[in-house]
Amino acid sequence: MNEAILMSASADKIDFMIHGLYKLNVFGQEVWITTSHVCIAIVMMVLVIFAIVANRKLAKATEVPDTFQNLLELVVELLDGIVESNMGSHAKVFANYICTIFAFILFSNISGLFGLRPPTADYGTTFALGIITFVLIHVTKWKNQSFKTIWTDMCSPLPPWFPLWLPINLISEIAVPISLSLRLFANVLSGTVMMALVYGLLAKIAYAWPAVLHIYFDLFSGAIQTYVFCMLTMTYITQSYGDAE
């Protein structure tokens, strides 16, 4: 397989689709290893190597931090501050998870800058993230609220003995992971498609100035969407604690 297939912006043709690389056979089902898998593996590798290097560094942390240690402390304090200001007393439980998905989504979104097809422009990736959020919301909810509270909440505008609004509330619960994942997916996909169109249709004059578009679509939009995804996840989880405490 040639490596050029990984590129989101090849100059000779418009190409932003996901391509299958290898076909596996699992219990009689066709399963494809696609470019998304490869790009996720690359992103994960970068993150894991960064984590190992950072861990080595912090194991022999000094009283007066040097540049790299300073940077690490800055990043961790920033992320912890975001989680702390949104989740209050529950921040300790979820800080690790939120910071992990923050790093993963951010690196996935800006991987378009390095010529990869962003893994978050694949609905499979974002839907998996949405499902994780959904499960977290409901585990937290059933752990911290009684059945009666949840039932009353589900029949919300009407009294609990008259569950006419129950189906509508159930649908709005199911809509949470779908809208979360579609928002991230569509934002990153639109950036990918537009960059592919610029490079494909204006290939003759696409020198230097597409960098401006890269800054907007990959860096700005990617960072905003990462922030929004983490923010909404935190908001939903905090809500699901109820007002018992």
Partner 1 sequence: MGITGQDLILACSAIGAGLAVIAGIGPGIGQGIAAGYGASAVGRNPGAQGKIMSTMLLGQAVAETTGLYGLLVAMLLLFVKPLVG
Could you tell me which of 103, 126, 123, 108 has the C-alpha nearest to residue 39? 108
Q: Are 30 and 23 contacting, i.e. CB atoms less than 8 angstroms apart?
A: yes
- Nearest distance from C-beta of residue 144 to partner 1, angstroms: 24
What crossing angle do the helices spanning 221-240 and 123-144 adopt, rounded to 10°? 20
Which residues are CB-neighbours of 31 under 8 A, at least 6 positions away? 23, 24, 25
Candidate residues 1, 11, 17, 61; the one interacting with partner 1 per rule CB under 8 A: 17
**CB nearer partner 1, residue 145 or residue 187:** 187
Task: Assess 193 for contact with partner 1 (CB under 8 A).
Answer: yes
Task: Assess 168 for contact with partner 1 (CB under 8 A).
Answer: no
> How big is the chain, counted in residues?
245
Site for partner 1 in 100-119 (CB under 8 A): none
Q: Report the alpha-carbon distance of residue 121 to residue 189 in Å, rounded.
A: 5
**Bridge-partner residues for 41, per DSSP?**
none
Task: Assess 44 for contact with partner 1 (CB under 8 A).
Answer: no
Task: Assess 151 for contact with partner 1 (CB under 8 A).
Answer: no
Q: Name the segment binding partner 1 (CB under 8 A); options: 27-35, 43-51, 93-101, 176-184.
A: 176-184
- Nearest distance from C-beta of residue 162 to partner 1, angstroms: 31
Task: Assess 231 for contact with partner 1 (CB under 8 A).
Answer: yes
Task: Assess 224 for contact with partner 1 (CB under 8 A).
Answer: yes
Q: Report the alpha-carbon distance of residue 91 to residue 84 in Å, rounded.
A: 5
User: Quick one: tokens of 204?
Assistant: 């003759």
Task: Assess 31 for contact with partner 1 (CB under 8 A).
Answer: no
Q: Report the alpha-carbon distance of residue 35 to residue 116 in Å, rounded.
A: 9
Task: Assess 227 for contact with partner 1 (CB under 8 A).
Answer: yes
**CB nearer partner 1, residue 11 or residue 224:** 224
Task: Assess 176 for contact with partner 1 (CB under 8 A).
Answer: no
Task: Assess 225 for contact with partner 1 (CB under 8 A).
Answer: yes
Q: Report the alpha-carbon distance of residue 87 to residue 118 in Å, rounded.
A: 29
Integer-rounded Cα Rg, in Å, for the chain is 22
Which residues of the shown chain bind partner 1 in the complex (CB under 8 A)? Answer: 17, 179, 182-183, 186-187, 189-190, 193, 224-225, 227-228, 231-232
